[in-house]
C-alpha cells in the first residue's frame, strides 16, 4: 500500500524533518557564553528545565533569558542568548517550500512542532520567507507547543489537533524524526513515518 493511500491530511514536525538540526552547535554556543549546564537540558527531541518550560509555554522568552542569565557569571545580552538557541538550526533543503505547496494542492497540510517563540521568530523571518510569503502560506494549520501548552509525545497534543480540526487520524500521515512521537501518534490511530535527519523523504509522496 502506498504511504499516502487514503490520506487526506499530512502533518509535519518542523525540526529534524523540514529543517535540519545540529544539537551540538547549540550546546557549544551556550557553553561559549558560560552556560555550562546546557547539556543537562538540551535533547534531540525533547528538552528539559527552562528549555522545556519555554517550549511548553510555561515561561515567556523574557523569563527564559532571565533563567539562563542567572546561571552565567558574566553579562550576556538577549541577542547572545537567542543566537545560541538559534544555532540549533542548520538549514532547510531548497526543495522544501515547493514540496509543501505541491502537497497543499492535494492534502490538508498541518505543522505540529515542539518549538518556542525565539525559534519561531527566526524561522519566520529567515527560513520560511524565501519566496516572499509568510509561513502560514505553506500550512493549512500550525500547531505549536508553546502556544498550546502541550508538548509531544503527550497524547493530549495530538488529541487537541483532532478536536480542533475534526481530522480522522486514520486519514492523517504524521512525519516526525522522533520514534517516541510517532509511537504515540500510532496508538491514537495516525499513520506515521519516521524521518532520518537530512533524509530526502519526498519519495513517500510519489503517486506512482
Nearest to 196 by CA among 206, 185, 182, 186: 182
Q: What is the pLDDT of residue 154?
A: 98
Give the catalytic positions in this structure. 13
Residue stretches of the chain with pLDDT short of 50: none
- C-alpha pair distances (Å), 57 with each of 24, 45, 54, 60: 24, 17, 5, 7
Q: What is the pTM of this model?
A: 0.95
Query: Which region holds residue 152: left if phi is over 0, alpha if psi is between -120 and 50, else beta?
Result: beta
Q: For the segment 18-62, what is each residue's pLDDT rounded down to a tens digit?
A: 999 999 999 999 999 999 999 889 876 678 899 999 999 999 999
Q: What is the pLDDT of residue 48?
A: 87
DSSP code at position 15: B
Residue spans per domain, the chain? 9-20+93-205, 23-87
Q: What is the pLDDT of residue 45?
A: 64
CATH topology of domain 23-87: DNA polymerase; domain 1 (1.10.150)
DSSP code at position 113: E
> Who contacts 172 (Cβ-Cβ below 8 Å, separation ≥6)?
7, 8, 9, 10, 11, 190, 191
3-state secondary structure of 85: helix
Q: What is the pLDDT of residue 207?
A: 62
Query: Domain 9-20+93-205 sits in which CATH superfamily?
Result: HAD superfamily/HAD-like (3.40.50.1000)
Amino acid at each position: 500500500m502506498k504511504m499516502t493511500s487514503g490520506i487526506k491530511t499530512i502533518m509535519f514536525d518542523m525540526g529534524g524533518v523540514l529543517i535540519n538540526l545540529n544539537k551540538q552547535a547549540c550546546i557549544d554556543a551556550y557553553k561559549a557564553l558560560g552556560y555550562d549546564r546546557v547539556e543537562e537540558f538540551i535533547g534531540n527531541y525533547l528538552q528539559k528545565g527552562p528549555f522545556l518550560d519555554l517550549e511548553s509555554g510555561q515561561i515567556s522568552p523574557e523569563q527564559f533569558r532571565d533563567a539562563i542569565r542567572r546561571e552565567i557569571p558574566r553579562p550576556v545580552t538577549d541577542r547572545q542568548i537567542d543566537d545560541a538557541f538559534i544555532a540549533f538550526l542548520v538549514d532547510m533543503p531548497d526543495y522544501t517550500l515547493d514540496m509543501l505547496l505541491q502537497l497543499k494542492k492535494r492534502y490538508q497540510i498541518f505543522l505540529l512542532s515542539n518549538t518556542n517563540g525565539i525559534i519561531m521568530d527566526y524561522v519566520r523571518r529567515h527560513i520560511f520567507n524565501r519566496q516572499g510569503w509568510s509561513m502560514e502560506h505553506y500550512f493549512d494549520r500550525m500547531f505549536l507547543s508553546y502556544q498550546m501548552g502541550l508538548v509531544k509525545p503527550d497524547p493530549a497534543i495530538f488529541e487537541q489537533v483532532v478536536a480542533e480540526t475534526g481530522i480522522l487520524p486514520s486519514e492523517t500521515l504524521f512525519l516526525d524524526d522522533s520514534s517516541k512521537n510517532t509511537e504515540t501518534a500510532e496508538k491514537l490511530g495516525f499513520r506515521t513515518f519516521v524521518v532520518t535527519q537530512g533524509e530526502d523523504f519526498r519519495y513517500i509522496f510519489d503517486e506512482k
